[in-house]
Chains A and B, each alone.
Chain A
């Protein structure tokens, strides 16, 4: 996405000179830009994922920077740690680009803040009315009960989640339930997040060499690339759970043949998307990655001018293995 007067790009895929990044997921923050701009909470994550030597600057949430006459600021998106909506103001016209966002509050991220604007560019990953998320407290209860019942049967609870965002969310939902271990990719990200001053529940490093007794009956969190790997198979009595918004639909739950599926999403559900759009009071809405056609059509029907924009951002949220998500070391 290109800002013409500002001469910079938002979450670009091609290699550009100046990239403004909404959050650290691989389909938004890509390698090869000459210069990066992001929110403070994302800076360390981007450096960790893209490279320590990249040219990067960051702003706190809500602080404006002017680039070629365009006033740019970041606002909490509630998607993952360090996720931001990008507000652009040029000659009095305000545009907000959401990146990915979630309207339900969790205990990790700064909650989504609606920003009034003229033009609103929204994601639509779960832009169908079949997607309704429950309160975190309800999901938390389900997940913890599952861990307890696994323990009764002498099973180790293995949760699968994207290493940035979902894993930390799972950690916070399961905090205090049982000792937690995480795969190296997650462990390293946790260190990065802690080093930039944020608190996370304790989670020890799990490697192929880790003593089996240390994970027995406990909780292990791994990235999706490990589903079906030997590393998982070697765990005695593992019960595997996927955590994703897609788990709402039976067909998705059954595809992977795991032991449980929890509806834990970092995106807005149907009502979340609609309330977010309405709160911006935007005159024009553009709908990107997800069910853009469906959601745009519905917005038009309820009297909000909307159009779809095709992008290459991922819509799969965790159920797909992502090439960039391969474990760095076993």
Chain B
């Protein structure tokens, strides 16, 4: 537990990605194999059910410390975490335990079947054998609420650095079917339990933003014009009847979208598709805001699938029945798509078709009304272009719609992280709602370094309240906030959610009295339906 506790402490303290990776590599270099397996298991959310209720743990702690309950609650509110409060209140341990993480985890499995009295005996012994931070972790593991701020991607990067194995393969490995008891660490890393050949994705081809007038691109008939959809870019892979979905962030997200798996599972061919995962109902693309409800869920309920159905909209096809066809021309590649599409209206698979245009004026007009399709603009692709690796200039362009914007006032500021930690760079903005201000957006980008310094100075001088690292600022500085879309949302206090908000410019010419109000913001929603 000592090693595990030290690692967690390091991961918690630093906000530097490299330091986190370094700490994990160090752990993989020195920890026993079984511990490493447990670490991967815990970090990817695979943890045993909690064997002991936290109310019992609290009861036993009060019994040992002889503290009144109100004082326990006071302490809890100062600490903010039950497992940690317990670990701090308990007297220092009188014994020492050298149990490893895997030994403790093994105990937890057995503990589940114990009587309360036996559980108590175990807990009390554990509390008396581990120092505070280890005790805290044990409480979290036993109480079933262990969590760590390390994404799968970060874990995979560390594993890759340690083992030299490609990170995509590791991602497949750790997500694959395995339990701590039926695999060795080396086999897990090598991917013995998976067939990486089946899941292996290709690097995405990415486009630059159009940096010249469209009519300078030559004959419009050489170009395929498509809507640029606003969802999760992904690769849908079907090989040997196994289906995998990769996100652009190189995470395997297959399990989050069962209807997509089902849609292609029984198709005769094998293929790799590039496309966009969209929330879609009755053949209409919904907003990104709706899709968000489907993301990062461990279990996808039937109800949720019915509320927010998803659709994979195919952009491109990279592999067909085992042959890499990326070097063929776009129009040739796309011919295979027909074999995948069944009946457009029933399937969860659709195609992002080329739009019919006769001139660049047509294209311009399409772009202007793109938002009405819940798309964020257009993609311009040379019909003869291969599927490039990475971002290449010239063959593909994205031509987004102009952003929407509102004027809002700065009300909270927080220092950034990493290089930005010296200045207040993370801002929260509000608009008027009657005589109150309501927050509508957070933005982290859009100002020059000079402007950031100036705003920072203002924040330091005009901070009225502190909530941890957050400063409440006198509402005085007005900014134009640009964003890609707007939707009603009950997750936000203001009732609206902005898509990709950023600072367009600092409106030094405007006073707080001139900022937008909630009504005018909501009008934007109506205007864009």
Assess A129 versus B75: contact at CB under 8 Å? Given A230-B422, A257-B421.
yes
Determine if A250 and B12 form an interchain contact, defined as CB atoms under 8 angstroms apart. Answer: yes
Jot down 18 A-B pairs with beta carbons below 8 A, ordered by A. Answer: A129-B71, A129-B88, A130-B78, A130-B85, A131-B88, A134-B92, A228-B421, A248-B88, A251-B80, A253-B13, A255-B468, A257-B14, A257-B417, A259-B13, A260-B13, A261-B13, A294-B71, A301-B68
Compute how far the CA of A186 lies from the CA of B516 in the bound complex, rounded to whole angstroms: 50
Given A129-B65, A249-B88, A258-B79 contact (CB < 8 Å): no
Instruction: List 8 extra interface pairs beyond A250-B136, A260-B13, CB under 8 A.
Output: A129-B71, A129-B89, A228-B421, A228-B422, A253-B12, A254-B12, A257-B13, A291-B74
Chain B interface residue count, CB cutoff 8 Å, equals: 28
Choose among A250, A254, A294 the residue with the greatest number of B CB atoms under 10 Å from its CB: A250
Contact A249 B13 (CB under 8 A): no
Smallest CB gap from B19: residue in A:
A259
* A257 engages B15 (CB within 8 Å): yes
| Cβ-defined partner of B13 (8 Å) among A254, A294, A297 | A254
Tell whether, in the assembled complex, residue B79 and residue A132 are in contact, meaning their CB atoms are under 8 Å apart. Answer: no
The digit string for A106-141, where 1 denotes a CB below 8 A from any CB of B, is: 000000000000000000000011111010000000
The residues of B that contact A301 with a CB separation of less than 8 Å are 68
Please give, as numbers and ranges, the residues of chain A lying within 8 Å of B415 by CB-CB distance.
Answer: 228
A233, B81: Cα distance in complex, Å: 33
A210 at interface, CB cutoff 8 A: no
Q: Specify which of A130, A255, A261 is in contact with B88 (CB 8 Å cutoff).
A: A130
A209 within 8 A of partner (CB): no
Most interface-central of B70, B74, B469 (chain A CB within 10 A): B74
Contact yes or no, A298 B71, CB < 8 A? yes
In the complex, what residues of A have CB within 8 A of residue B417's CB? 257
Chain A residues in the interface with B (C-beta under 8 A): 128-132, 134, 228-230, 233, 248-251, 253-255, 257-261, 291, 294, 297-298, 301
Contact status of A255 and B84, CB under 8 A, knowing A228-B421, A233-B422, A249-B79? no
Interface status of B67 (Cβ within 8 A of chain A)? yes
Q: Which of B245-259 contact A (CB under 8 A)?
A: none
Nearest Cβ in chain A — how far from B446, in angstroms? Answer: 22
Q: Chain A nearest CB: distance from B11 CB in Å?
A: 10
Contacts A228-B421, A228-B422, A248-B88 given; does A130 touch B13 at CB 8 Å: no
Q: Contact at B421–A251, with CB atoms within 8 Å?
A: no
Closest residue of chain B to A127, judged by CB?
B74
Q: Which residue of B lies closest to A233 (CB)?
A: B422
Bound state CA distance, A248 and B84, in angstroms?
Answer: 10
A40 to B13, CA, bound (A): 41
- Chain B residues proximal to chain A, CB less than 8 Å: 12-15, 19, 65, 67-68, 70-71, 74-75, 78-81, 84-85, 88-89, 92, 136, 415, 417, 421-422, 468-469
Q: Which A-chain residue is minimally distant from B417 (CB atoms)?
A: A257
**Minimum distance in angstroms from B261 CB to a CB of chain A:** 39
| Minimum CB–CB distance for B517 against chain A, Å | 35
Shortest CB distance A5–B (Å):
37
Q: Can you name the residue of chain A whose Cβ is closest to the Cβ of B415?
A: A228
Q: Is the CB of A251 within 8 A of B79?
A: yes
User: What is the CA–CA distance of A154 and B85 in the complex, to the nearest angstrom?
Assistant: 36
**A251-B79, A257-B421 given; A294·B88 CB < 8 A:** no
Alpha-carbon distance A230/B92, docked complex (angstroms): 40
Asked if residues A255 and B13 are in contact (CB atoms below 8 Å), the reply is no
Report, nearest first, the 9 A-B pairs whose CB atoms are least far apart.
Answer: A130-B88, A257-B15, A130-B75, A228-B422, A294-B74, A128-B75, A228-B421, A251-B80, A129-B89
Contact of A250 (CB < 8 Å), options: B68, B75, B84: B84
How long is the Cα–Cα vector from A228 to B416 in the complex, in angstroms? 11
A228 to B420, CA, bound (A): 10
Known A129-B67, A130-B88, A249-B79; judge A259-B14 contact (CB<8 A). Answer: yes
A216 to B469, CA, bound (A): 30
Q: Which residue of A lies closest to B65 (CB)?
A: A129
A295 to chain B, nearest CB (A): 10
Residues of A within 8 A of B84 (CB): 249-250
A132 and B92 in contact, given A257-B417, A259-B13 (Cβ under 8 angstroms): yes
Please give the distance in Å from A148's CB to the nearest CB on chain B.
Answer: 15
Given A129-B65, A257-B14, A301-B68, A249 and B469 contact (CB-CB distance below 8 Å)? no
Q: How far is it, in angstroms, between the C-alpha of A71 and the C-alpha of B314 when the chains are bound?
A: 89
Q: How far is the CA of A260 from the CA of B10 in the complex (A)?
A: 8
In the assembled complex, how far is the CB of residue B377 from the closest CB belonging to chain A, in whole angstroms? 37
* A16 to B361 Cα, complex, angstroms: 81
**Across the two chains, which residue of chain B brings its CB closest to A294?**
B74
Q: In the complex, what's the smallest C-beta–C-beta distance from A228 to chain B, in angstroms?
A: 5
Q: How far is the CA of A255 from the CA of B13 in the complex (A)?
A: 9
Residue of A whose beta carbon sits closest to that of B81: A250
Distance between Cα atoms of A228 and B425 in the complex (Å):
13
Min Cβ gap B460→A in Å is: 11
CB distance from A158 to the nearest CB of B (A): 14
Contacts of A255 in B (CB 8 A): 468-469
Task: Determine the chain B residues whose CB is within 8 A of the CB of A129 once the complex forms.
Answer: 65, 67, 71, 75, 88-89
- Minimum distance in angstroms from A127 CB to a CB of chain B: 10
CA distance A256 to B343 in the complex (A): 56
Is the pair A258, B71 in contact by a Cβ cutoff of 8 Å?
Answer: no
Note all chain B residues with C-beta closer than 8 A to A254: 12-13
Chain A residue nearest to B422 (CB atoms) is: A228
The complex places the Cα of A230 from the Cα of B422 at a distance, in Å, of 8
Q: How far is B13's CA from A260's CA once the two chains are assembled, in angstroms?
A: 7
| Contacting residues, chain B, for A259 (C-beta < 8 A) | 13-14, 19
Instruction: For B76, give the chain A residue with the smallest CB separation.
Output: A130
Bound form: Cα–Cα A263–B58 in Å: 25
Whole-angstrom distance from the CB of A253 to the nearest CB of chain B? 6
Inter-chain contacts of A228 with B (CB < 8 A) = 415, 421-422
Q: Chain A CB within 10 Å — which of B68, B75, B92, B469 has the most?
A: B75
Q: Is the CB of B79 within 8 A of A130?
A: yes
Q: CA separation between A115 and B124, bound complex, in Å?
A: 38
Min CB–CB distance A249 → chain B (angstroms): 6
Nearest CB of chain A from residue B68's CB, rounded to whole Å: 6
Is B13 a contact of A258 with CB atoms below 8 Å?
yes
Chain B residues whose CB sits within 8 angstroms of the CB of A233 once the complex forms: 422
Q: State the Cβ distance, A256 to closest chain B Cβ, in Å.
A: 8
CB neighbours (8 Å) of B19 from chain A are 259
Q: How far is the CA of A257 from the CA of B84 in the complex (A)?
A: 19
Q: How far is the CA of A233 from the CA of B423 in the complex (A)?
A: 13
Shortest CB distance B230–A (Å): 33
Instruction: Tell me the minimal C-beta distance from B157 to chain A in angstroms.
Output: 19
Chain B residue numbers with a CB within 8 Å of A134 are 92
A227 to chain B, nearest CB (A): 9
Best-surrounded residue of B13, B81, B421, B422 (most CB of chain A within 10 A): B13
A181 to B330, CA, bound (A): 64
Verify B78–A249 contact, CB threshold 8 A.
yes
Complex Cα distance A90/B80, Å?
A: 45
| Whole-angstrom distance between the Cβ of B73 and the nearest chain A Cβ | 10
B78 touches A128 (CB 8 A): yes
Q: Most chain-A CB neighbours within 10 Å: which of B71, B417, B422? A: B71
Give the CA-CA distance A248 to B468 in the complex, in Å: 17
Closest Cβ–Cβ distance, residue B72 to chain A (whole Å): 8
CA distance in complex: A131, B87 (Å) = 11
With A253-B12, A255-B468, A257-B421 as contacts: A132 and B88 at CB distance below 8 Å: yes
CB-CB under 8 A from B469, the residues of chain A are: 255
Residue of A nearest to B68 (CB): A301
